[in-house]
């Protein structure tokens, strides 16, 4: 019999309606009937469960409609007289049964003028019975649907009023069919049916017995036992048909990796036919009735049916507790303790009130939803109310897998942050009491949301540059570790939560990450200080402070990345529209230096993630600790697994593997020009991956005699000595006009002698240790060469006589253009001063440009015309006028020539991690 459907028309008259049933579904029907102008004269529903009444009863009471609650309408097959009289008292024209679990006597069904209509979730006459949706899936139907029929004493054999059909795919479940079709369309269909009755257009089409089925209810235990002798497709259909409740069941012996004992019950949920061409690897489970063992892998439990068809199971219920299938052998692992914002704390209390309204009991963190009497319709109500509260789309399975209140609000918060899996975090790390605080950080690689050891077993020994003591050993990534991380990032980009959430939700996650960094800024600055030698106060303000600003800036960009429309020549007369889309590139690799470990990570990664990419990042081998602490904060902020991967390791192994990897589509690098050239070659040879390089510098600072000399001295010192000279835009050479040269040098020496050198954690320290010994040794040789070439060493040039890698701030004068120290970057606290004559401005600009580097530059002068001419003619990516080192997260940063190409920071940085797609449409 073909489905019957009549276009919905407004009712020509109002009917007096009795609603008989229960659930949120019935409550929505109630609201729609009132909206259509009908009069609900009575609601007949079930008894309260403990202190909880049905949602239909609640909404009826709120609208002043009489509510009648019955345990039963009949005793020994006969209608209860008192119940019948109460029902008759409302004088309904029509009974509407939206979702009714009780047997309604024919005396009630036939009493109204228009009798009774009932909702059924199948295309009758197929799948008559209480478990019709389940049987639609179990039988592998390709079409599902709903029927509105005239109720009779069989309750689903009466004449058809209206039917609707919908496609049913091999991947559908009870929940997807219900949420896509049966719930929203069923509510509308009942409203349409009532209006048809009111308008006199409602048909009565007798059901045919052709194709009729009488499927048993799936309430008894024996009806949901899995028959493993069936083929893979039949097994998949059976499991998904029982996916919400009660679950497809089997018995196995409790298994560890080494032993087996007596039988236990396991229920299977979330089946999908396996399309992978490879064999999954992992631990095995022996299931009686299957020829091959099932395999636990990182995507679930892979079952091979006896006909060779494979299906993958996502969730298991073991001993009454729902778990992810891949965690079958993982017990009692510590879950991450989320640090909640004030807004999230308020959400917890609002959610607690929702639970209290549903369960009618006080709610503690360990209150179990189902142990407290909740049923399947309460799950639907909870999902809907949470969506109304915070616009978070929970699934029914989220409730079944997180049954206590604490588990529930944790998963809801993670969902709101963009991660649907309650990630677990566990790591081997170090706890220290330092800088009057406790700090803690991981010492393992961070791959796919987990801290793990390296395949190779190799480690990096980290030295505290302030006293040369060993901080700890950190795992060093192998080529195989790189491959794992890249594949995890690829999966997260293509299939994970990161690919599903909106740009605005992505921004919310990055804002939360910035907030967490703010909360941990003292700890991050302390770790940065002991690991890289950064002065604590500077680390707090710049290393960490600017990192936080960077994440907040790019979080704000997430939902503002957009393309444009273009009026191409073919737009008329053929009506063509051309538009561009800005899309993420995919898996990006980032390799960062050791001078600003956290800030360099943030400058690159924030733009990368804001654009929607995933990332594998290699921090500098000598100071990776803040990157590993950052990885921990990513988990706590709800960044989905696989989106961020952190791989401490050597450049020759880990860095090279990233440059060579064929699945990496973009590489961002900050470091030396020599290494940049090697990386660029590797990127071209591997897969022509996009590259951005921020490389060496020899930035000129030109100081004219009309400057504010005091300001020039102060800024000139900062341009060289800031962060111990380990600064990519440090002024590598100062050109000071002859007339003020000697006075400038005199003042600089006086001020340099005042600089306090010592423990970077001491709040009064201005100059800390160099990052590592090899670099300090390089600075000593740099100074020795300068003296040998004839430059005048005015101050410093030596290692400080104390433990640690302390090097004196150094000043050279009488430096000529041909000297090696005038051309090469020291990357340390070494001021190189040359004289110039302002009579020929073009000459000093020529000298300043006479280098293969072009990262930054500066000029001090009160002559605005001269300053702007300098800015126009200098060949550098950044120009400072009467200031220096004043970078900002909104201002693009990057160099020219052999200082590299591409930009960090500002809107321009986003373009480094986006690709532009052009789309032309003819209409």
Same-domain pairing of 109 and 142: yes
- Find the range with the poorest average confidence among 339-348, 423-432, 490-499, 714-723: 423-432
497 occurs within a structural domain: yes
Q: Is 444 annotated as a binding residue?
A: no
Q: In the prediction, which pLDDT does 412 show? A: 87
More confident position, 317 or 198: 198
Q: In the prediction, which pLDDT does 487 show? A: 96
Nearest CA-CA partner of 778 in 734, 853, 829: 829
Q: Is 655 annotated as a binding residue?
A: yes
Residue 421 scores a pLDDT above 50: no
- Find the range with the poorest average confidence among 153-167, 605-619, 796-810, 846-860: 153-167
Q: Is 103 annotated as a binding residue?
A: yes
More confident position, 267 or 552: 552
Same-domain pairing of 682 and 588: yes
Residue 334 scores a pLDDT above 70: no
Euclidean distance between CA atoms 770 and 775, whole angstroms: 7
What is the number of domains present in the chain?
5
611 occurs within a structural domain: yes
Mean pLDDT over 320-349 rounds to 74
Q: In the prediction, which pLDDT does 810 show? A: 98
Nearest CA-CA partner of 556 in 519, 603, 520, 606: 606
Nearest CA-CA partner of 543 in 595, 470, 590: 595
Q: Is 827 annotated as a binding residue?
A: yes
Q: In the prediction, which pLDDT does 338 show? A: 66
- Name the pLDDT band for 332 (thresholds 50, 70, 90): very low
pLDDT digits (tens, 9 = 90+) for 625-643: 999 999 999 998 989 999 9
Same-domain pairing of 315 and 348: no
Q: In the prediction, which pLDDT does 866 show? A: 96
Structure-token match 């990042």, residue found: 617
Q: Is 671 annotated as a binding residue?
A: yes
- The chain-wide mean pLDDT, for the chain, equals 91
860 occurs within a structural domain: yes
Same-domain pairing of 704 and 690: no
Q: In the prediction, which pLDDT does 262 show? A: 65
Partners of 162 in the β-ladder: 148
- Name the pLDDT band for 333 (thresholds 50, 70, 90): very low
pLDDT digits (tens, 9 = 90+) for 527-575: 999 999 999 999 999 999 999 999 999 999 999 999 999 988 865 677 8
Element (H, E) at 197: helix 183-199
- Find the range with the poorest average confidence among 14-23, 88-97, 290-299, 386-395: 386-395
- Name the pLDDT band for 418 (thresholds 50, 70, 90): low
Same-domain pairing of 167 and 106: yes
Range list of H helices, 314-417: 342-359, 376-390, 396-401, 405-416
User: Are the C-beta atoms of 386 and 392 separated by less than 8 Å?
Assistant: yes
Residue 336 scores a pLDDT above 60: no
Same-domain pairing of 101 and 141: yes
More confident position, 576 or 150: 150
- Find the range with the poorest average confidence among 217-226, 250-259, 470-479, 889-898: 250-259
Where is the domain boundary, 647, 678, 694?
694
Q: Is 652 annotated as a binding residue?
A: yes
Cα diameter, the chain: 117
Q: Is 866 exposed, middle or buried (0-12, 13-18, 19+ CB in 10 A)?
A: middle
Q: How far is CA 254 from CA 328, 430, 676, 750, in A?
A: 10, 36, 55, 78
Q: What percent of the chain has pLDDT over 90?
A: 73
Q: In the prediction, which pLDDT does 851 show? A: 95
Residue 407 scores a pLDDT above 70: yes
- Find the range with the poorest average confidence among 60-74, 253-267, 397-411, 600-614: 253-267
- Which residues constitute the domain of residue 117? 16-199
Q: How far is CA 489 from CA 598, 639, 711, 754, in A?
A: 21, 12, 48, 50
Partners of 915 in the β-ladder: 583
Two tokens, residue 266 = 């396991």
**Secondary-structure breakdown of the chain: helix, strand, coil percentages, each rounded to the nearest 5:** 35, 25, 40
Residue 419 scores a pLDDT above 70: no
Catalytic center residues: 120, 694, 728
- Distance between first and last Cα of the chain: 39
Q: Is 269 annotated as a binding residue?
A: no
Same-domain pairing of 837 and 789: yes
Same-domain pairing of 437 and 380: no
Q: 871: domain CATH number?
A: 3.40.309.10
User: Are the C-beta atoms of 11 and 37 separated by less than 8 Å?
Assistant: yes
Nearest CA-CA partner of 522 in 544, 507, 505: 544
Report the C-alpha dihedral over residues 684, 686, 689, 691, rounded to 10 degrees.
-50
124 occurs within a structural domain: yes
pLDDT digits (tens, 9 = 90+) for 342-384: 888 899 999 999 998 888 788 888 888 877 877 766 787 888 8
Same-domain pairing of 726 and 827: yes
- Name the pLDDT band for 387 (thresholds 50, 70, 90): confident
Same-domain pairing of 505 and 528: yes
288 occurs within a structural domain: yes
- Sequence-distant (≥ 6) Cβ neighbours of residue 391 within 8 angstroms: none
Same-domain pairing of 704 and 689: no
Mean pLDDT over 109-138 rounds to 94
Q: In the prediction, which pLDDT does 422 show? A: 44
402 occurs within a structural domain: yes
Q: 39: domain CATH number?
A: 3.40.50.170
- Find the range with the poorest average confidence among 56-60, 222-226, 591-595: 222-226
pLDDT digits (tens, 9 = 90+) for 182-210: 989 999 999 999 999 999 999 999 999 88
Q: Is 201 annotated as a binding residue?
A: no
Same-domain pairing of 78 and 180: yes
922 occurs within a structural domain: no
pLDDT digits (tens, 9 = 90+) for 761-789: 999 999 999 999 999 999 999 999 999 99
Q: In the prediction, which pLDDT does 599 show? A: 98
211 occurs within a structural domain: no
Q: What percent of the chain has pLDDT over 70?
A: 95
- Find the range with the poorest average confidence among 295-304, 567-576, 671-680: 567-576
Euclidean distance between CA atoms 248 and 287, whole angstroms: 14
Element (H, E) at 302: strand 300-304
Q: 273: domain CATH number?
A: 3.10.25.10
pLDDT digits (tens, 9 = 90+) for 717-746: 999 999 999 999 999 999 999 999 999 999
- Name the pLDDT band for 264 (thresholds 50, 70, 90): confident
Residue 405 scores a pLDDT above 80: yes
Sequential DSSP letters for 108-161 = HHSSSTT-EEEEESS-TTTTBSTTHHHHHHHTT-SEEEEEEEE--TTSSSS-EE
Nearest CA-CA partner of 456 in 425, 491, 483: 483
- Name the pLDDT band for 52 (thresholds 50, 70, 90): confident
- Sequence-distant (≥ 6) Cβ neighbours of residue 684 within 8 angstroms: none
More confident position, 602 or 841: 602
- Name the pLDDT band for 259 (thresholds 50, 70, 90): very low
């Amino acid at each position: 019999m073909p489905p019957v459907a009549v276009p919905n028309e407004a009712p020509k008259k109002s009917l007096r309606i009795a609603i008989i049933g229960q659930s949120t579904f019935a409550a929505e029907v109630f609201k729609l009937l009132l909206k259509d102008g009908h009069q609900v004269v009575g609601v007949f529903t079930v008894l309260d469960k403990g202190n909880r009444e049905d949602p239909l009863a609640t909404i009826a009471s709120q609208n002043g409609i009489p509510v009648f609650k019955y345990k039963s309408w009949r005793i020994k097959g006969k209608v209860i007289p008192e119940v019948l009289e109460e029902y008759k008292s409302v004088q309904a024209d029509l009974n509407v049964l939206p979702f009714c679990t009780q047997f309604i006597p024919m005396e009630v069904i036939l009493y109204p003028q228009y009798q009774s209509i009932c909702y059924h979730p199948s295309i009758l006459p197929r799948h008559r019975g209480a478990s019709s949706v389940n049987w639609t899936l179990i039988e592998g139907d390709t079409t599902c649907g709903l029927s509105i029929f005239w109720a009779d004493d069989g309750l689903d054999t009466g004449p058809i009023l209206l039917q609707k059909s919908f496609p049913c795919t091999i991947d559908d479940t009870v929940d997807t069919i219900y949420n896509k079709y049966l719930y929203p369309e069923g509510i509308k269909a009942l409203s349409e049916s009532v209006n048809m009755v009111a308008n006199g257009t409602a048909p009565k089409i007798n059901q045919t017995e052709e194709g009729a089925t009488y499927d048993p209810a799936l309430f008894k235990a024996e009806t949901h036992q899995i028959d493993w002798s069936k083929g893979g497709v039949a097994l998949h259909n059976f499991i998904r048909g029982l996916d919400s409740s009660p679950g497809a069941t089997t018995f196995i012996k409790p298994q560890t990796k080494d032993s087996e004992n007596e039988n236990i019950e396991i229920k299977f949920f979330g089946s999908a036919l396996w399309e992978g061409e490879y064999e999954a690897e992992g631990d095995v489970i022996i299931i009686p009735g299957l020829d091959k063992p099932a395999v636990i892998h990182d995507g679930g439990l892979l079952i091979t049916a006896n006909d060779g068809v494979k299906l993958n199971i996502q969730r298991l219920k073991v001993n009454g507790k729902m778990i992810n299938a891949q965690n079958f052998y993982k017990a009692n692992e510590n879950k991450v303790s989320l640090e909640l914002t004030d807004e999230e704390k308020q959400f917890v209390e609002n959610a607690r009130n929702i639970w209290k309204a549903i369960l009618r009991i006080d709610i503690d963190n360990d209150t179990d939803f189902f142990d407290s009497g909740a049923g399947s319709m309460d799950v639907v109500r909870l999902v809907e109310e949470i969506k109304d509260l915070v616009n978070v789309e929970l699934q029914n399975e989220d409730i079944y897998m997180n049954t206590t209140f604490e588990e529930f609000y944790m998963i809801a918060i993670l969902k709101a942050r963009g991660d649907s899996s309650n990630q677990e975090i566990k790591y081997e790390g170090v706890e220290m009491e330092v800088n009057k605080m406790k700090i803690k950080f991981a010492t393992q690689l961070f791959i796919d949301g987990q801290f793990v050891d390296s395949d190779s077993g190799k480690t990096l020994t980290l030295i505290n540059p302030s006293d040369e003591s060993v901080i700890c050993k950190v795992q060093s990534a192998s080529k195989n570790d790189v491959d794992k991380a890249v594949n995890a990032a690829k999966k997260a980009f293509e299939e994970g939560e990161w690919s599903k959430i909106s740009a605005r939700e992505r921004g919310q996650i990055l804002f939360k990450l910035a907030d967490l960094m703010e909360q941990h800024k003292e700890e991050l600055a302390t770790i940065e200080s002991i690991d890289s030698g950064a002065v604590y106060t500077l680390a707090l303000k710049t290393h960490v402070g600017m990192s936080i600003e960077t994440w907040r800036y790019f979080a704000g960009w997430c939902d503002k990345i957009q393309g444009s429309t273009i009026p191409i020549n073919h737009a008329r007369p053929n009506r063509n529209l051309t538009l561009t889309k800005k899309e993420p590139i995919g898996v990006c690799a980032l390799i960062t230096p050791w001078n600003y470990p956290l800030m360099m990570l943030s400058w690159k990664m924030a733009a990368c993630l804001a654009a929607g990419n995933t990332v594998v990042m290699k921090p500098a081998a000598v100071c990776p600790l803040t990157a590993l602490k950052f990885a921990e904060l990513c988990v706590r902020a709800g960044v989905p697994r696989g989106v961020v991967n952190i791989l401490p390791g050597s450049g020759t192994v880990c860095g090279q593997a990233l440059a060579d990897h064929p699945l990496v589509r973009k590489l961002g690098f900050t470091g030396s020009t020599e290494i940049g050239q090697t990386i660029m070659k590797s990127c071209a040879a591997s897969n022509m991956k996009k590259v951005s390089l921020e490389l060496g510098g020899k930035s000129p600072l030109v100081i004219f005699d009309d400057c504010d000399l005091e300001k020039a001295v102060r800024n000139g010192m900062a341009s060289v000595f800031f962060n111990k000279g380990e600064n990519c835009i440090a002024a590598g050479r100062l050109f000071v006009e002859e007339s003020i040269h000697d006075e400038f040098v005199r003042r600089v020496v006086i001020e340099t002698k005042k600089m306090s050198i010592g423990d970077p954690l001491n709040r009064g320290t201005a100059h800390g240790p160099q990052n590592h010994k090899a670099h300090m040794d390089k600075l000593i040789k740099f100074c020795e060469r300068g003296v040998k070439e004839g430059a005048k060493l005015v101050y410093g040039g030596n290692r400080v006589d104390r433990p640690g890698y302390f090097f004196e701030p150094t000043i050279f004068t009488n430096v000529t253009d041909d000297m090696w120290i005038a051309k090469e970057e020291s990357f340390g606290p070494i001021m190189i001063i040359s004289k110039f004559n302002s009579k020929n401005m073009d000459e000093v600009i020529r000298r300043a440009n006479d280098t293969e580097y072009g990262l930054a530059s500066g000029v001090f002068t009160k002559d605005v015309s001269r300053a702007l001419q300098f800015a126009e003619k200098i060949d550098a990516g950044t120009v400072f006028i009467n200031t220096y080192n004043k970078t900002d997260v909104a201002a693009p940063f990057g160099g020219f020539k052999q200082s590299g190409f591409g930009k960090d920071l500002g809107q321009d940085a986003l373009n480094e991690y986006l690709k532009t797609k052009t789309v032309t449409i003819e209409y």
